[in-house]
Amino acid sequence: MTYKNVVVYCGSHFGNDPAYAAFAGELGEALGKNHFRMIYGGGTVGLMGICADAAMAAGGEVTGIIPEVFIAKEQAHRGLTALIEVPDMTVRKQRMIEMGDAFIILPGGIGTLEELADTANQRHIYGDPFAQPPIIICNIEHIYDGLLAQIKTWEEAGFIEPSEWGNLHVAETMEEVMGILKMKTKQ
Ligand code: AMP
């Protein structure tokens, strides 16, 4: 079975380099056109909104999972296929992790890093490393070079076992992202 539900974690800001927003738009469009269902945080702001708008414009399905705090701030995206309201950030994160067949990390800040770390840390529930969903870090304009260097440092220091991380991918182009999504199959 091929992947269907693709969770996208990304910044609630645009970032300073227009390449970030450009890639977010390209990703949304590619997900929509290739019939993946995009699942994300449900907001209108920053790269989140750009990616979701592009997926919808390309005829895709988009599900947003949004905590009450952002509904109160009127930052919920009301033009999605589905918007699921949840009480808080923790429930949202858990729902996204449960729903995702694959996970994509776009440029973002601390919130995105937390979502990446929490998703990667769930590997213990899968048992077999080959059953783990792919986590694709999009290293656009080298934004994650520092993080990737830290992962290497953990490996060298003996705190990360590389054989446990076969599902972690790094991509710099949309072709690489789509190649991973289309190549892998879910058991
Ligand atoms: P950051 O990488 O720090 O910009 O955080 C990105 C994450 O913060 C998103 O995936 C959301 O979990 C959350 N977030 C921040 N602002 C909003 C918002 N206005 N609407 C929805 N989610 C938000």
- The per-residue pLDDT for range 46-72, each reduced to its tens digit, is 999 999 999 999 999 999 999 999 988
pLDDT of residue 128: 64
Atom of ligand 1 nearest to the CA of 113: 2
- Please enumerate in sequence order all residues whose Cβ is within 8 A of that of 49, keeping only pairs 6 or more positions apart, or say none: 43, 77
- The per-residue pLDDT for range 109-167, each reduced to its tens digit, is 999 999 999 999 886 666 665 678 999 999 999 999 999 999 999 999 999 988 888 89
Residue nearest to atom 5 of ligand 1 (CA): 111
- The per-residue pLDDT for range 75-112, each reduced to its tens digit, is 899 999 999 999 999 999 999 999 999 999 999 999 99
| Alpha carbon distance 3, 18 (integer Å) | 29
Q: Which residues pair with 104 in a beta bridge?
A: 8, 136
Chain center to CA of 167:
14
| 8: its two tokens | 């996208």
Determine, yes or no, domain membership for 116: yes
Contact 57, 29 (CB under 8 A): yes
Band of pLDDT at residue 187, cut at 50, 70 and 90: very low
Domain of 139, CATH number, reads 3.40.50.450
What global pTM score does this model have? 0.94
Contact 99, 115 (CB under 8 A): no
Ligand 1 site, residue 43, Cβ cutoff 6 A: yes
Q: How many other CB atoms sit within 10 Å of the CB of residue 17?
A: 13
Structural domain of 173: 5-181
Ligand 1 site, residue 91, Cβ cutoff 6 A: no
Determine, yes or no, domain membership for 94: yes
Determine, yes or no, domain membership for 151: yes
pLDDT of residue 90: 94
As a whole number of Å, the CA-based R_g of the chain is: 16
Determine, yes or no, domain membership for 65: yes
